[in-house]
Structure 1
């Protein structure tokens, strides 16, 4: 902050009078801002968000010793314990939890201040880190966004919904496209699209000539499932549970391995219509007696929803949903 004379507007004693520190006298001293190291608060906040000094250093793009020193200086200056160092890692003390609630608001306002200072720019610029559950879900939205905002640099990281939400909460990404609306008050979620869950089998399977399957057919059928955290798996398991059917999971494998496992005859696979890739070795099987579907949502942290790039991405998702509704 620049040194020199600080001008503060006060209530005027007479109509038309503007009071400043020039005529406020001793009142200026009582209004002086208390000092606290912003960098120390920032290091504390990053540790609280990331859960470790390593994660905090990565968030701040500084060294781990820098974070450790600033955190210790903050605690030492006020003679308090903000972070407890346990064998299982760092945990916030009760005072640390209270301070974290304040720094969440502080750094949200800090982001708003930066946005205000940048608001005069006519072209949206910057960087946007996107997390998504599958290329099929995110690419249409990504294409629409980059077409409208070509000066924004984007990066895309893919995983399941649970992992994307975790990275979002820890602020390693800015926005996400996920297969669930997380019940987390810290997140803002907007519906983006809806996809039917389908099954598929190899071309030599007895079901290959069918037009579809019923949920009851799955009672004894070996299934190839995605990992836990996959929303297509979660909604199918819920539909089966409602009918008292326990799925027979023969193999649990990541997204890329499901198709090859089905082709190898390990079981019937689960995917969504938009993710199913036509292959002469497999047959897609709709579920004919239940409405089993996943929904895709664009999500961001509520505390960062006013950041210009985040706000633009969420508005793009909302517009796409409205056009497809």
Structure 2
């Protein structure tokens, strides 16, 4: 067993792809493939299922990945301890975010303060971000309304309200406020299941015992904005996600004021890493709010 083999395996497991792992390690894809294949052959294990350009962990692979993540985190801590004067001058941080509105300003501030840290940012919905953190595919997440776990540190950064996005010629466009009950019978445009927007909306609808029909489901906030703009129905976004578009009007929803809480999240085990702690600390400061970490078993 060689360090280079474990490093290659860990990178492929983390990235879910041999080509992305090669880019992360500054190696060629064949070099990474050879390292992983040698590890598999040496111990008679199948660590990945290769499918459509993706590398999917087997049960043996997942068990080994849990160990290599701990190993390389400890290795990084040793390196930081032995060279504390150069800590945060170089390194790599992988960030998962459920949208650019809360993440990009913090990322820009982090890059300015720590220009030597390489940042990789992936975007997905809220559930994808949470799972990426739990599975250690990302080091830190910026997401919304994250459900608690005894493995996570969760810090609230800001609060937003949900709005109804309406075509400028719709009768509701002149309203100062809408109730969810006003929308019964109207064509609605919803985000995909797993998104925070969809989860918050459906929770409120269930609590009010309302029923809707004529729903169109779209997979991104950009698609929702454009669908509203061309008159396909009423969409739902959080206030910071609304862009200036003279084709649409944003109207607050009475029942969904302050319904979204932007958060920075990471694994408790990762917070002791200097680069993760630095990002979380900067996020708290940048948000300009008092931090309330929640280390609650769930």
Q: CA deviation at 1:198?
A: 1.0
2:39 to 48, 60, 74: 74
Query: Do structure 1's residue 145 and structure 2's residue 110 form an aligned pair?
Result: yes
Aligned to 1:115: 80
Unaligned runs of at least 5 residues, structure 1: 1-35
Query: Do structure 1's residue 257 and structure 2's residue 216 form an aligned pair?
Result: no
Query: Do structure 1's residue 200 and structure 2's residue 183 form an aligned pair?
Result: no
- Describe the shift of the 1:245–1:186 C-alpha distance in structure 2 as closer, same or farther (beyond 3 A): same
Aligned to 2:235: 269
Query: Do structure 1's residue 293 and structure 2's residue 266 form an aligned pair?
Result: no
Q: Residue 98 of structure 2 contacts residue 129 of structure 2 at CA under 8 Å; is this kept in 1?
A: yes
- Describe the shift of the 1:70–1:190 C-alpha distance in structure 2 as closer, same or farther (beyond 3 A): same
Query: Under a length normalisation based on structure 1, what TM-score does the superposition of the two structures give?
Result: 0.72
- Describe the shift of the 1:185–1:257 C-alpha distance in structure 2 as closer, same or farther (beyond 3 A): same
Q: CA deviation at 1:315?
A: 0.5
- Describe the shift of the 1:171–1:63 C-alpha distance in structure 2 as closer, same or farther (beyond 3 A): farther
2:196 to 218, 223, 231: 231
Q: Residue 88 of structure 2 contacts residue 275 of structure 2 at CA under 8 Å; is this kept in 1?
A: no
Aligned to 1:83: 47
Aligned to 1:218: 183
Root mean square deviation, CA, Å: 3.4
- Describe the shift of the 1:166–1:122 C-alpha distance in structure 2 as closer, same or farther (beyond 3 A): closer
Q: Residue 160 of structure 2 contacts residue 238 of structure 2 at CA under 8 Å; is this kept in 1?
A: yes
Aligned to 2:283: 317
Report SS of the residue matched to 1:277.
coil
Q: CA deviation at 1:232?
A: 1.6
Q: Residue 236 of structure 1 contacts residue 292 of structure 1 at CA under 8 Å; is this kept in 2?
A: no
- Describe the shift of the 1:74–1:275 C-alpha distance in structure 2 as closer, same or farther (beyond 3 A): closer
Aligned to 1:240: 205
Unaligned runs of at least 5 residues, structure 2: 292-298
Query: Do structure 1's residue 132 and structure 2's residue 132 form an aligned pair?
Result: no
Q: CA deviation at 1:240?
A: 0.8
Counterpart Cα distance in 2 of 1:51 and 1:139: 24
- Aligned length, in residue pairs: 288
- Describe the shift of the 1:298–1:240 C-alpha distance in structure 2 as closer, same or farther (beyond 3 A): same
Q: Which has the higher contact order (CA 8 A, sep 6+)?
A: 2
